[in-house]
Structure 1
C-alpha cells in the first residue's frame, strides 16, 4: 500500500504579540518593488487601527477588505484574482490572509489561482492543482476552523461546496497570535470553537483513524474540553489553548477525515448559506445515534455557555430543496466512508438524511 505524503506548514510562529513580526518575516520574500504583497483582511478590522497600524505597506502593496458574512465562493476567488492581476505590475510577492476560516480559505485559493489557468471551480476536488501557489501567509483572528493548517480551501462553487484539496494549498507561513482573537463575539467564539471540537469527534471515531491523527485529535479534544468546560482558565489561557486546539484539530484531519456533521452541514451551506461553524452545531445537535458521547458533551457545553441554536431552518423547504442538500451530503464519499466504513451506503439512506434535516 502507498502512504499519504502529507504537506505541513513549514514555518509557524506562536505567541501573544507575534503579529508584530509580520513585516520582518515577509520582507525577504519580496520579489521586486513591482511585485506587491496583497493583504486580504476581514472587513471587521476596517477601523481597527491597533491591527492595521502594524501592517506596513511599501511600494504597491495593497490591503483588500473582504466581508466574511458569506462562505467563500469560487466566483469570489476568480474576481479577486482578476482584480489583483489588474492592480499589479507583476505577479504579487505574496498573499497574506488575516481573518477567520473564510479569509484564510480565500487567501489559499487566490494564491493557487494566480499560478494556475482557468477558473477555481475547475480545481474543486482532490489533487487537481498543477502549479505551486505563490507565497502565502495565514494569520487567524478566530480559532477553530483549522484552516490555518489544512491542505484544503473550502469553496462554494456553481454546483457544489467542495475544497481545493492539494499539496500546494497549505500556507508557507502561519502566525498564531492569540491576542488577535480577543474581540471575537461570544456566539461566534462558540460556533467556531465547536467546529474544532466536532473535527475531533469525527476524526477520533472514524474508520480512517491512525496513530498520527489520533495523537493530534486527542490533544485537540482535551484542549477543547478545558476551554469549554473548565472554569479555572484565564481569558489569555483560554485563547491560547483554543488556538492550539484549532491547530491540532486541523492536523488530526490531515491523515483522517471528518464525518456526518460536516457532510450534512455542507448541504445546509450550499442551499441556505448557513455558515460553517453554526451549520456544524445545528447538525451535530441531532447526531446522538452516530456520536453518542460527543453529542452529550456538546449539549453540556452549549448549556454552560448559554447558546441557543437556531431552530426550524429547514421547516419551509420543499422536497426539491431536501434533495439538493441530500445529494451534496451524499457526494462526499470520503466523509461517509470515514464515519460509517466501506459499506456506508447500506447504513445511510436518503430517507434517513431527510428525517434528520427535517428536525433542524
Structure 2
C-alpha cells in the first residue's frame, strides 16, 4: 500500500488579536519593488476601521474580492494577469475573508508562477510550480479552506478544485475576534459545512487514525456550539474557529462524501454557495448518513434556520444532466462515501432522483 505524503500549512498563529501581528509576520517575505497583495472580502469594503488595520506599505495593493458568486477560473486569471502585467511579480497574496476569498487567494498565488489558465489546473496534482508566498486569514469559520489542499473554482466546464501540494497556505492567522460579526444565517451555513465535513470523513472508506482524531474533535466542537449552547458568545467563536481548522485537517488526510459531491453540481448550474448548498443536500441524505442527518435537523431547529426547498424544480433536462456530470466527476468523494464500486451504486438515475428531491 502506498501512503499519501500530504503537504500541510507551514505556520499557524492563533489567538484573540493576533491579526495585529500581521505586519511582523509578513515582513521577512517582502521583496524590493514587489508588493504584498491583500485580497479583502467585499463584506469589509465599507469598514474603514478594519481596513485601517491592514499593514499596507509602499506599493502594496488592497483589492476588494467580489464573492457574490463562488470564485471562477476567469476571475483568478484576471487578477493574476493584472498583477503580472503591472508588477512582473508580487511578494505575496494575502486572503482575508471567507472560504471563497481564501480559495481565490491561493489560486491567484499559483497562477502568478504557473503558465496557462486556472482551468488547466482543475484536478488532482496538475500544478507544477510553487506559488508566491500566501497567507490565509479567515473571517468566518467552517469551510476549512484555511488548511485545505484544494482551492475550489468554477470553470467553464466544471466546478473543481486546484488540488495539489502547492495549494496549502504558507501561513494562516486564526483570530477569533474576526468572526464575531458574522450574520446568524451565514454563520450557521458555514458552520454546517464543518459539521458535514466531519460526518463524511468519519463515515468514509478513507478513514484512518489521523483523520479520525481531528474529525472527532471537530465534531465534538460543532455539537457543543450548535446543540449544547443556547446563546452565541466569544467562546463559541473560538470553538467554531478550532472546529473549522480540525475539520479541514480531517478531510486533508481522508475526503468528504455525498453531500459535497452533489452540492458541486448545484453550485455549477445554479450558483448555490458552498455552505448553503451542502445544507440543502445534507437535509435529504438520511439513506447515507442517518444519524448525522437526524442531528443536523436538531441543529436546524435550535438555530431557527429555514433550509431552502424545491430549488431544482423546473430545471431543464440539460441542466439536470450537467449537474449529474459535474457530480460524478468527483470520483474520490464518491469512493470515500461508497467504496471502490461506487459507480455501480450511484447510477445516473439514482443521482437524478436525488437532485429532484432538492
Same fold (TM over 0.5): yes
Q: 1:5 — aligned with what?
A: 5
8 Å contact kept, 2:22–2:55 = no
* 1:136-175 deviations in Å (ceiling 9; x for gaps): 0000000000000011100001100100001010000000
Runs of 4+ in 1 over 3 A off after TM superposition: none
Question: Would the alpha carbon gap of residues 283 and 232 (structure 1) be closer, same or farther in structure 2, given more than 3 Å must change?
Answer: closer
The number of equivalent residue pairs is 358
8 Å contact kept, 2:42–2:66 = yes
Q: 2:132 — aligned with what?
A: 134
User: How far is 1:232 from its partner?
Assistant: 6.1
Equivalence map 1:162-173=2 (5 Å) = 162-173=160-171
Equivalence map 1:194-343=2 (5 Å) = 194-231=192-229, 235-343=233-341
User: How far is 1:234 from its partner?
Assistant: 5.6
Task: State the distance in 2 between where 1:318 and 1:86 align.
Answer: 42
Q: 2:176 — aligned with what?
A: 178
Equivalence map 1:77-96=2 (5 Å) = 77-88=76-87, 90-96=88-94
Task: State the distance in 1 between where 2:118 and 2:208 align.
Answer: 32
Task: State the distance in 1 between where 2:346 and 2:162 align.
Answer: 26
* 1:81-117 deviations in Å (ceiling 9; x for gaps): 01112332x4111000000000000000000000000
Q: 2:100 — aligned with what?
A: 102
User: How far is 1:228 from its partner?
Assistant: 0.3
Task: State the distance in 2 between where 1:134 and 1:124 align.
Answer: 19
User: How far is 1:128 from its partner?
Assistant: 0.8
Question: Would the alpha carbon gap of residues 288 and 241 (structure 1) be closer, same or farther in structure 2, given more than 3 Å must change?
Answer: same
8 Å contact kept, 2:152–2:162 = yes
Q: 2:26 — aligned with what?
A: 26
User: How far is 1:342 from its partner?
Assistant: 0.9
**Is 1:54 the counterpart of 2:53 in the alignment?**
yes
Structure 1 unmatched ranges of 5 or more: none
Task: State the distance in 1 between where 2:52 and 2:94 align.
Answer: 15
8 Å contact kept, 1:44–1:67 = no
Task: State the distance in 2 between where 1:113 and 1:315 align.
Answer: 38
User: How far is 1:50 from its partner?
Assistant: 2.6
8 Å contact kept, 2:72–2:155 = yes
User: How far is 1:343 from its partner?
Assistant: 1.0
Structure 2 unmatched ranges of 5 or more: none
Q: 2:157 — aligned with what?
A: 159
Q: With structure 2 as the length reference, what TM-score do the two structures score?
A: 0.98
Let me know the Cα RMSD of the aligned residues.
1.0
